[in-house]
Structure 1
Amino acid sequence: MPKKAKPAGPGTEEQPVPRKQLKAEAAGGPSPFNFDSPSGFFESFISPIKTETFFKEFWEQKPLLIQRDDPALAAYHQSLFRLSDLRSLCARGVYYGRDVNVCRCVRGKKKVLNKDGKVHFLQLRKDFDQKRATIQFHQPQRFKDELWRIQEKLECYFGSLVGSNVYITPAGAQGLPPHYDDVEPGDLLYFPRGTIHQADTPPGLAHSTHVTISTYQNSSWGDFLLDTISGLVFDAAKEDMAFRAGVPRQLLLQVETAAAARGRLSSLLRTLADRLEGSSQLLSSDMKKDFIVNRLPPYHAGDGAELSVPGGQLPRLDSLVRLRFKEHVVLTVKPDQDLSDETQEKMVYIYHSLKNRRETHMMGNEETEAHGLRFPLSHVEALKQIWNNPAISVRDLRLPTDAEKASLAVSLWTECLLQVL
């Protein structure tokens, strides 16, 4: 029988921001964006620029300014976060440093004006009005439903975490010196990673508010190589004695690695590259799990009951089924963490974000938990069938016995990941 995936390692003991049950927010009338699918949303998000044009000409290459003369769209953007929202957020309990920064750009350098502990709105407004300070609010999607809705769709589209920050700056002021971000920000104005930029509020305006939405941090080929190399070595060491042979005596005591050792290591890396060419399944170490464990849960306007209720009747052999919440589920193969290094075997892990806590999203040191199931490697083909087909009969799953087919279907159904049609 499958087992529940083990929880991730513990985080710090700092408690998350208290949060009341939120109601759906009316964000300036009907949304101008298409939320029917992740690709449909992104297409509407960058309209009138075509998706193909964006990735061919701008993504990771050069900035893009998208200007749209649409009053309804402007009203929608203005509704995402307002200065007046800070009063209710402060009443819920937010803290300097973790949730809010108060800062000014003084002689080209950032000066932080934070107090200690809990943020009080009257003091925040005083610093804003009298000290001309910028208010930076971290990860507002934890509280603002429409930003949750937007960022959840972007996480589905990019397959990467999506964070945000709000900056509210008084007229004629500047909060931060020229700087660059190590992530991919974008909202009407797109900047590739590392673009130097600054923002200020022109005179004549009461204040400016802008939201930065950022993605693709820790999503480079280097990150992916670090994630998969351990799996390649794991497979190679089981089958090739060259990987199990001892390194030269006193290698770790040498200041410089000898030419013979460098040559041997180069040869082993070439062997790994050759093995990779003939492999269709990469063992993932952390990236898939880290993404799904830390991302937003599926957006829902009500109490989210559909996330905790199995889909339809209990599946049977003759049931037609399909995967639910596919964009919030990952399948990965990796060594069984319950066994010792000497006896490790591969297992199939299914992780999902249905039970993730929105209030801890992108907060870094907050404790997170992995939700999902694990199965023997013999189940991988049946699971791929479920993944790759819009609907499939339980009886047609590629498993040796009817009992295993039914057990797999019931396990996924109980976890709310399977819909009986």
Structure 2
Amino acid sequence: MPKKSVKGRGSSTEEASPCKQSRVVSSDAPSPLCFQSPQSLFESLIQPVGTEQFFVEYWEKKPLLLQRSDPAVASYYQSLFQLADLRSLCSQGLQFYRDVNIVRCVNGKKKVLNKEGLVKNAALTTNLSRNKASIQFHQPQRFQDELWRIQEKLESYFGALVGSNIYITPEKSQGLPAHYDDVEVFILQLEGEKRWRLYNPTVPLAAEYSVEPEENIGSPTHDIILKTGDLLYFPRGTIHQAETPAGVCHSTHLTLSTYQRMSWGDVLSDALPSMLFDRSRTEVGLREGVPRRLLLADSSDVKTNRRLAAILRTLAEDLEAGRQEVTSSHMKKDFITNRLPPPCLQQLPAGGAPALEDTVCLRFKDHMMVTVESSQQSTEEATEQFVFVFHSLKNSRENHMMGDIGDEEEEWHSSKGLRFPLSHLPALRQLQQEERLPVRQLHLAADQDKLSLTLALWSESLLHVL
């Protein structure tokens, strides 16, 4: 993407032009986004760029700027969140640090101006006008229904968590110093204008945690002015900074971030331990002892390296031939446990209770996962496997991406999972693959098993009786 020039930049003196005022818009502005499916939502978000072009040319490669001239799009973006919305939310007990950060970039360093306790309107006003500080509001989808709808669809589209933050920055001010993050970032400009400067990535595909780069970061590769309704994407690892130019009272933008800890290394770290454990039960060679004093040696010898390489090579060959499955169960559970619940979820099961003569279909397929695991009560000598169905329908929207959800495995199993005998796996796969299926055609021998399976799914609002 060519470098963008900047014209009409305000001077550094206080004699600036009058502030541009944001239009007051209705919260029910018509949406230019299509919520029919996760695919259609993302397509409408990045239009006119197609999804195939986006993932071939931009995803994890380079920034993409989409400038919109349609007033309807600008009005919709404004309706997603404004400073007035944050002021209204102060009555709901917002807290510093947990919900709101007050930050300012001073001499290239981040300065946090938070106080303890609840966030008051007066504090927002003081920090914006007098301290020229930025307001960072964490995870607004907890309060704004339209952002909930957007992020829930994006989580289904990417198969990964999608977080968000609101940044409100006053005129001629910058909230954060130049830095890079470990997520893929989509910027939506909601109010006013903001100047973005992007630099070359510190390393291809940033490491696990965001770290402020060295002061000497070179010249920007992109110098961009975002206006209300514009969208900017840049890959993780891209050094960036943003400021509100002169003549703009304040600027509000929304960051949508995704694909944190979603690398090949993360998948291998999750999948390899369980794969090796399963194979060790059937392959004697993996249960043979390692060479004597291996742990006391400074490094392994050539013979040991060859033995390990042979084991990994056999595993790789079985993976390629389809004789070994990759089961990244921890990553899947983490996603299902922490993602947003569907906005359209009804509190009661859909339709009447299923009967043998009924035809049924799964609801919220993107919100459930089926795994085969050993029972926690089983002993090592007699391991019994069960089928577990986990889902996110009972997840808390209020805690989304806030780190408040407990990770006690046993508690989560009991509250958000269903357990079935291993014999039920073919029937569950049927339901996952078919759009509609007669209960009698389920791959289970007994009619009672067919009824108990469908009733359990129906009672969790995962099954619809047609």
Q: Residue in 2 aligned with 1:315?
A: 354
CA apart distance, 1:162: 0.2
Amino acid at match of 1:65: L
C-alpha separation between the residues in 1 aligned to 2:454 and 2:174? 57
2:273 to 223, 230, 239: 230
C-alpha separation between the residues in 2 aligned to 1:281 and 1:405? 27
Amino acid at match of 1:326: K
- Matched position secondary structure for 2:341: coil
**Deviation string for 1:254-273 (max 9, x for gaps)?**
33233333222222111221
**Deviation string for 1:153-204 (max 9, x for gaps)?**
1001111000001110000001111111110111310011111111100100
2:340 matches 1:296: yes
Cα distance, 1:222–1:341 mapped onto 2, change above 3 Å: farther
2:314 matches 1:268: no
2:252 matches 1:209: yes
2:168 matches 1:123: no
CA apart distance, 1:62: 0.7
C-alpha separation between the residues in 2 aligned to 1:146 and 1:346? 41
Q: Residue in 1 aligned with 2:3?
A: none
Q: Residue in 1 aligned with 2:376?
A: 337
Amino acid at match of 1:224: V
Q: Residue in 1 aligned with 2:45?
A: 45
Cα distance, 1:83–1:154 mapped onto 2, change above 3 Å: same
Contact 1:318 1:393 in 2 (8 A): yes
Q: Residue in 2 aligned with 1:12?
A: none
- Matched position secondary structure for 2:389: strand
C-alpha separation between the residues in 2 aligned to 1:420 and 1:281? 33
- Matched position secondary structure for 1:168: strand
Q: Residue in 2 aligned with 1:7?
A: none
Amino acid at match of 1:412: L
For residues 56-71 of structure 1, the aligned pairs below 5 Å read 56-71=56-71
C-alpha separation between the residues in 2 aligned to 1:282 and 1:378? 21
2:432 matches 1:387: yes
Amino acid at match of 1:118: L
- Matched position secondary structure for 1:272: helix
Q: Residue in 1 aligned with 2:201?
A: none
**Deviation string for 1:329-381 (max 9, x for gaps)?**
11222333332344333322211111110010001244364512122222211
TM-score of the aligned structures, taking structure 2 as reference length = 0.81
C-alpha separation between the residues in 2 aligned to 1:403 and 1:326? 24
Higher Cα Rg, which structure: 2
C-alpha separation between the residues in 2 aligned to 1:399 and 1:26? 54
Q: Residue in 2 aligned with 1:287?
A: 331
- Matched position secondary structure for 1:382: helix
Cα distance, 1:85–1:238 mapped onto 2, change above 3 Å: same
1:352 to 391, 396, 401: 391
Q: Residue in 2 aligned with 1:109?
A: 109
CA apart distance, 1:99: 1.1
Contact 2:29 2:79 in 1 (8 A): no
C-alpha separation between the residues in 2 aligned to 1:387 and 1:236? 28
Q: Residue in 2 aligned with 1:6?
A: none
C-alpha separation between the residues in 2 aligned to 1:229 and 1:334? 15
TM-score of the aligned structures, taking structure 1 as reference length = 0.89
C-alpha separation between the residues in 2 aligned to 1:100 and 1:78? 20
- Matched position secondary structure for 1:351: strand
Q: Would you identify which runs of 4 or more consecutive aligned residues in structure 1 move more than 6 Å?
A: none
Q: Residue in 1 aligned with 2:192?
A: none
C-alpha separation between the residues in 1 aligned to 2:109 and 2:362? 51
For residues 369-384 of structure 1, the aligned pairs below 5 Å read 369=412, 371-384=416-429
- Matched position secondary structure for 1:373: strand
Q: Residue in 2 aligned with 1:9?
A: none
Cα distance, 1:213–1:30 mapped onto 2, change above 3 Å: same
Q: How many residues matched?
A: 392
Q: Residue in 1 aligned with 2:363?
A: 324
Q: Residue in 2 aligned with 1:184?
A: 184
2:403 matches 1:364: yes
2:448 to 396, 403, 409: 403
Is the deviation greater in 27-36 or in 242-251? 242-251
Contact 1:283 1:333 in 2 (8 A): no
1:221 to 253, 264, 268: 264
2:449 matches 1:414: no
CA apart distance, 1:279: 2.9
C-alpha separation between the residues in 2 aligned to 1:289 and 1:321? 26
- Matched position secondary structure for 2:75: helix
C-alpha separation between the residues in 2 aligned to 1:399 and 1:243? 36
For residues 134-149 of structure 1, the aligned pairs below 5 Å read 134-149=134-149
Cα distance, 1:376–1:283 mapped onto 2, change above 3 Å: farther
C-alpha separation between the residues in 2 aligned to 1:104 and 1:236? 54
Q: Residue in 1 aligned with 2:236?
A: 193
Cα distance, 1:280–1:383 mapped onto 2, change above 3 Å: farther
C-alpha separation between the residues in 2 aligned to 1:283 and 1:204? 54
- Matched position secondary structure for 2:369: strand
Contact 2:166 2:253 in 1 (8 A): yes
How many percent of aligned residue pairs carry the same amino acid?
56
Amino acid at match of 2:462: L
Instruction: Please list every run of 5 or more consecutive structure 2 residues that lacks an aligned counterpart in the other structure.
Output: 1-24, 188-230
